[in-house]
Structure 1
Amino acid sequence: MSSTIGTKYYCAAESATSQGFGFSKRAEGSSTSYEPAQNGTVTAQDVAVAQAIVNGLHNSKGERAYLSWQIGATFEDAETEWNNNTNAWELDITSLGGEFVAKFVELVDLDNLSSFDGVTYDTLVEWMNTAMVRYMDTLQTTLPDLTTFHENGGKLIHYHGEQDNSVPTASSIHYWQSVRDIMYPGMSSSKSLSKLKDWYQLYLIPGAAHCGTNSLQPGPYPEDNMQTMINWVENGVKPMRLNSTVSSGDYAGETQMLCQFPTRPLWKDNSTFDCVFDKASYETWTYEFPAFKVPVY
């Protein structure tokens, strides 16, 4: 990122929509505002902010508490908002996170947090820890023991956009890894993977944002998951790759078969690729969270 320091930029004026509950699209809780044109030069401070976002949340001891978006995802959830009344850029606290912290973590009857004054990285970690412990039995959705689901014949196709700008892609991988470790402890890597993919498969979608394609990378997106699932459950046709379709651009309408994780696409040319496993690549998706004293799935 440091190579961008000194680069000049210009952004035209536009109307912007904050996400609220929308996740990449306008929805209840969102709002629209005007943004003036901007121009300037990228500074070292700008780069430091972007790098901190990409590095993910750490406490003051440098212990990781959460991961972040992949390179190529937009920073929409981290954007400030132009206030037409004050003619200034101000913090935009989405109703999704702010209301939860106010009502369920700080236990006050407010619809949103008014500011982040005095809030440190350690404060954020403590909020996360409080919520995780307090609501483990009602809101926890990442418990990895899926034995009952599996023993009752359940099949699971799990996919995630690689440039998701709301929920980090690696969080899905971390859950997939957790299920594999909990369901098949002590097994070799190859044996546990073979058993897991018989009923639970994870696919990453290149260029996809949250609930849709990334506007800058209109890559393939799964189109017929229901039919794939019906064939798997009712006809015993286990998928090995996931059918997807390019939405726009020069390759609009082209079908591409997504690779089943942990294999990754290795491109031969502009339109064909193999699915291969690369240990170094896999390890970049693997995280631990020492900021917490309890397991984080």
Structure 2
Amino acid sequence: MAVQNTFHHAWNVLANKDANGDYILLADKLPLIHTAVLAACDGLDGLSDGLIDDPRRCHFNPSTLVCDNPATCLSPAEAAVVRKLHDGATDSRGNRLEPYISHEWGSELEWTLFVPTAQGQTVASENFALSYLRYLAQPNNPRPAYKLTDLKLTVESFWKTVMPSSSYMAALDPDLSAFKRSGGKLILWHGWNDQHISPQGTLIYYDALRRTVKDADSFAKLYMFPGLAHCAGGEGPNSFDVLTPVMNWVESGHQPNRIVATGAARTRPVFPYPVVARYDGTGSTDDASNFIASTPRNPVRTDAKWVGQSLYSSQYQAWPRAKNGKLVLTPQPSPPAATARRTQ
């Protein structure tokens, strides 16, 4: 919650500003970028259908769009912004201030959340970041005059900014052993094209859960929906039911497997991560019945090395209470043991 609404959304804005404070990349270039990404990566899953089933396999290089024709190409500065928006926030030394891959390849049409159509606009990402930085990051010390340029992109600033609010506003503790013992069942889901909350956070949490709790798959499943934007929308099927499967799991002991998503004039099955859907070669590619479950021989490993990776732990949570108009945290939170990791 804290990293999402500070460095993540602030970077969406700051990475796209020049020395004069003007935007470098405008939304009219997003279809061009999206078309190029699909041309490079749509067929990686064996089917050219406008969806990238695992964008982490896509290694698109925005510099391939650089040329002298602004109508059909990007400028070097625009290409650099695209790379920054994809990769995510870093400091001047390359330390990652959020998990690697802030916005997945294939989600470019959804970037209007933070890429404006014209100069002078205030994008949603700026409002998200300023609301949090002014009134929630330091709950007992509101800063109504705070500006995005006040946010320092350093490791020291990272911990000062995300603590103490991470200690009570972030649900990152992967130790769900008590939940498991109680008979609880959990379905996590995320859209690969989510333009607001990076899918990487959910993937990292799920990996941490599986490392922390033995046999985590017996009570927790993760579903990743290709083409799905933030909660709804996007180019992929975006309507599905996860409530019935989790009810059947709790009440009847039936583990969830295939969930069918509908929309965009097609249906598509989604299987528990890391299993993916593969076309069986028969019938329409818009019909979920023509897809089978496939476990990748070499699953992509999520890159979890970033400054705040130790936030996915049980070390620092605190319980808040109000006293004399102030928020008191017990115990007093301190950053979990952390080491900065430099990216190459």
The normalised TM-score by structure 2 is 0.62
Matched, 1:276 2:276: no
Structure 2 match to 1:242:
259
Q: What stretches of structure 1 of length at least 5 have no aligned partner?
A: 10-38, 83-87, 185-194
Cα 1:171–1:229 shift into 2, 3 Å: same
Answer 1 or 2: which has greater helix percent.
Answer: 2
1:49 pairs with 2:69:
no
Separation of aligned partners in 1, 2:292 and 2:229 = 23
CA contact (8 A) 2:187 2:222 kept: yes
Equivalent residue, structure 1, for 2:244:
227
1:17 corresponds to: none
Percent sequence identity is: 19
* 1:101-134, Cα deviation, whole Å (9 max, x unpaired): 1223366534574x43364432xx5454224431
Q: How does 1:143-154 map to 2 (within 5 A)?
A: 143-154=173-184
Distance in 1 separating the partners of 2:278 and 2:259: 16
The answer for the alignment partner of 1:15 in structure 2 is none
C-alpha distance 119-109 of structure 1, shift in aligned 2 (>3 A): closer
**Aligned twin of 1:264:** 276
Residues 223 and 243 in structure 1, CA contact (< 8 A), matched pair in contact too: yes
Give the Å deviation of 1:248.
2.5
Q: May I ask how many residue pairs the two structures share in their alignment?
A: 240
Compare the two structures and name the one with the higher strand fraction: 1
Stretch deviating more after TM superposition (271-280 or 229-238): 271-280
2:115 maps to 79
Q: Deviations over 1:18-70 (max 9, x none)?
A: xxxxxxxxxxxxxxxxxxxxx68520110000001111222222122213111
CA contact (8 A) 2:274 2:299 kept: no
Q: How far does the alpha carbon of each residue in 1:241-266 deviate from its partner, in whole angstroms, 9 at most, with x for none? A: 22322x133x2xx3x32121012233
Amino acid of the structure 2 residue aligned with 1:258: V
- 2 CA distance for matches of 1:7 and 1:75? 24
Aligned in 2, Cα 1:7/1:262: closer, same or farther, shift over 3 Å?
farther
In the TM superposition, 1:209-224 aligns within 5 A as 209-214=229-234, 217=235, 219-224=236-241
Match for residue 178 of structure 1?
208
Match of 1:162 among 171, 178, 192: 192
Q: Please, what is the CA RMSD of the aligned residues?
A: 2.7
Which of 140, 156, 168 lines up with 2:170 in the alignment? Answer: 140
Q: 2:120 aligns with which of 80, 89, 92?
A: 89
The runs of 5 or more residues in structure 2 that have no matched partner are: 1-61, 314-344
Assess if the C-alpha contact under 8 Å between 1:105 and 1:127 holds in 2.
no
Q: Which residue of 2 aligns with 1:121?
A: 153
| TM-score for the superposition, normalised by structure 1 | 0.71
Q: Does the 8 Å contact 2:135/2:142 carry over to 1?
A: yes
